[in-house]
A = this chain, B = another copy of it.
Amino acid sequence: MTQLNLAESKHCFGGQQNRYTHTSASTNCTMTFSAYLPPQAQSAPVPALYWLSGLTCTDENFSTKAGAQRVAAELGVALIIPDTSPRGDGVADDPDGGYDLGLAASFYVDATQEPWKPHYQMYSYITDELPRIVEAELPVTDQRSIFGHSMGGHGALMIALRNPARYAAVSAFSPIVNPAGVPWGHKALGAYLGDDEAAWANYDTVTLVGRAEAADHLPMLVDQGSADQFLEDHLKTDRLATACREAGYDAEIRMQPGYDHSYYFIASFVEEHIRFHADAMDLNAA
């Protein structure tokens, strides 16, 4: 271990639920992330499934509430769970105190505007720096897959669409699929990227689906609760369905009746998502 500090380690389903801190060159601050290392990682490196969390979350929400470790332990996949933004002294936050900009609301972009630019470089952190450190210092291979929830669903879809060679598959719960076209995204992308619409488009899943080459169509699974309070104004799952249909992208987009935006929804379907990623990584047990 040269770059990672092990801040916490707890036995869980025969493996280890760990928290690490490290100095990040991308975000120019100390970053925290959680990692679940399944029992199989004690004997050989295992593939890594990245989880990106939503607004207001840290690395701990998914770790404590999703019930994902049971399935990860069965299948032998590590869970890598980064924080949702840079944090610490000197890291800018929403001057209006909103939950949807600044701390815990990075939207996983590389900011080009002040005061965000010095630390809000989460796209580079998630796609480049974090995997490089994780693959050098933890018992994981360079086989990666990615999923997330809400703002993190946006992050997972956007990152996978822009880097199809680096991920086996992508899935999302309740994702913001069209940040360029909804209030949450307008506020955040406008602050982080300014008025440059081309820059916004690079972070917009609906746009990226339209641009994707057929050869780059990763397996994609999306679950959306029909009783989700944010569906109508911010999530707009139908726009992803339309974009996939028009692009000939064979994604599985499911509306789950009665479910809301909470971790009770995530917990109910996380096993299916992890098995979906394991299939794409050829990991499922016979």
Q: Which residues in A have some Cβ–Cβ distance to B below 8 Å?
A: 10-14, 17, 64-65, 67, 69-70, 225, 227, 256, 258-260, 262-265, 267-268, 271
Contacts and interface: CB of A to CB of B under 8 A. Distances in A.
A10 B64 contact: no
A12 B268 contact: yes
Contacts of A17: 264
Contact of A265 (B11, B227, B258): B11
Interface class of chain A by DSSP:
mixed
Contacts of A12: 264-265, 267-268
A212 B13 CA distance: 34
Nearest to A70: B67
10 contacts: A11-B227, A11-B259, A11-B260, A11-B268, A12-B264, A13-B267, A17-B264, A64-B64, A69-B264, A69-B268
Contacts of A67: 67, 70, 267
A80 B274 CA distance: 29
A256 to B, nearest CB: 8
A171 B118 CA distance: 53
B70 A10 contact: no
Given A67-B67, A67-B70, A70-B67, A10 B267 contact: no
B64 A268 contact: no
Nearest to A68: B67
Contacts of A227: 11
Contacts of A14: 268
Given A14-B268, A67-B70, 6 more contacts: A10-B262, A12-B268, A67-B267, A69-B264, A69-B268, A70-B268
A271 B64 CA distance: 16
Contacts of A256: 11
B11 A263 contact: no
